[in-house]
Amino acid sequence: MEDLSVLLEGFNPAILKAISNITLCTLDNVRSETENLWETSTTTLPRLFESAECWNEKPPESTKLILETLDAIADPNTIITAFRRGEADTKVDPRVAIAQLHDPKELHPISLIGFSLPSVPDTSFSAPLALSEFVEPHDERNLQLLLTPKYGFTDLHIDSADGISSPMGPCVKLWLVFPPTLQNLKLMASAEGQKAKLVRIGRKLEGGLLFKTTSAESIYLPVGCIHSVFTLHGGFLVAIDFNTPKSCHAFSALLTAGLDQVGSPSFQNEVFDRYLASVDLALYNLQCVSGISSWIDSIERIREWVEENPAWAKKATKVWDEFLDTPRGGKTKCPCGKQTTKEKFQGHLKKRHWWGKVWTSVKKENIRTRLDAKRAVKRKAEDDLEEKETSKILKKVKK
């Protein structure tokens, strides 16, 4: 890959300086330690695929995309919001983003994010078959387009699902990606609510990889992947989300770190819905131990969530009840190691790893147990003190 200082000429100097202090490698020279960080924290490494494998129809030309975008902007029934400095700006004319494809601005370029066009229907783009060698995509949806001119920059962030993206036409993107390790997620949480995350925490992130994509490549980003994106040549990008049976572990780490709360309410809802779908997939795809373990790891956050989201709790109950009614569900042993020989998994799950009345009774039982233990310690201390006093008295009597 070319020298980054050359590729990123014209971008914010503070960002370029931050990148120079980050350890990055490509898939061609990835170290075993870096690969292990990815494999243990999410589904697999990010990977590149031929974009031709993703297109079910011939991708539209840039001219058609631009004309349709102009039509959508002019349509009073369609809302396309411009983004500047990473935030929606309703005062900016969205057409400026199109103009900047021809006349890019180094300072605060305008982008359009998350819209759709007739020439790119939901059925036109999907995950490549080659991806199934690493993870199996399910429930592909939320196809959306992004229009970003040259010098467009997206700061470090985490998407709500696994996804695959591909530039279109002349568009060229540079991706800095990091695995959702415990260290990295803690750093992201520490920077929440602050801008310039790449500048603030980039040098401390571990497991960094670097990718450059043109319209010939599509990039797979696993769930939880922390990433930042630079637009080297302006144009359109198409992206689609999906679930995999392996994703529940990474979702659990996000929930435990509280990173589901970093975006809008719709982002948070999407994360929990995707997480539950991933657990469901794991339970039915011979990965039930992974699904159950991720549930146990997330249970405290889940208990907080269901208090204000009873509809989600109902969906979760249905997922588990359907699994528990299967022969596999009836024979499952809980990976927590606390299921007794007399307990069936269903009873153990609802008693130890659930919410509501069942959990309340367990919580009370645990509180009573702790109180009994404290009382026992106190009684023993009193008995020891009484024994010492008695011993002193006996010694005096003997004298």
pLDDT the model gives residue 363: 45
Q: State yes or no: pLDDT of 68 exceeds 60.
A: yes
pLDDT the model gives residue 362: 44
Reported as a pLDDT band with limits 50, 70 and 90, residue 398 is: low
CA dist 333 and 335 (Å) reads: 6
Q: State yes or no: pLDDT of 366 exceeds 90.
A: no
What pLDDT digit, counting tens, does each position of 288-310 carry?
A: 999 999 999 999 999 999 999 99
CA dist 319 and 278 (Å) reads: 11
Reported as a pLDDT band with limits 50, 70 and 90, residue 361 is: very low
Q: State yes or no: pLDDT of 368 exceeds 60.
A: no
Burial of 238 (0-12, 13-18, 19+ CB in 10 A): buried
User: How many CB atoms within 10 Å of residue 287?
Assistant: 20
Question: What CATH code is assigned to 4-244?
Answer: 2.60.120.650
Reported as a pLDDT band with limits 50, 70 and 90, residue 34 is: very high
CA dist 74 and 165 (Å) reads: 27
Provide the residue ranges of all domains of the chain, joining segments of one domain with +: 4-244, 254-346, 355-399
pLDDT the model gives residue 129: 96
Contact 339, 353 (CB under 8 A): no
What pLDDT digit, counting tens, does each position of 248-276 carry?
A: 999 999 999 999 988 788 999 999 999 99
**Mean per-residue pLDDT of the chain:** 91
Task: Please give the radius of gyration of the chain, using alpha carbons only, rounded to the nearest integer.
Answer: 27
pLDDT the model gives residue 245: 95
What pLDDT digit, counting tens, does each position of 120-155 carry?
A: 999 999 999 999 999 999 999 999 999 999 999 999
What pLDDT digit, counting tens, does each position of 156-165 carry?
A: 999 999 999 9
CA dist 129 and 207 (Å) reads: 27
What pLDDT digit, counting tens, does each position of 85-116 carry?
A: 889 999 999 999 999 999 999 998 999 999 99
Contact 250, 38 (CB under 8 A): no
pLDDT the model gives residue 388: 66
User: How many CB atoms within 10 Å of residue 378?
Assistant: 10
CA dist 329 and 317 (Å) reads: 14
CA dist 147 and 116 (Å) reads: 11
CA dist 370 and 199 (Å) reads: 46
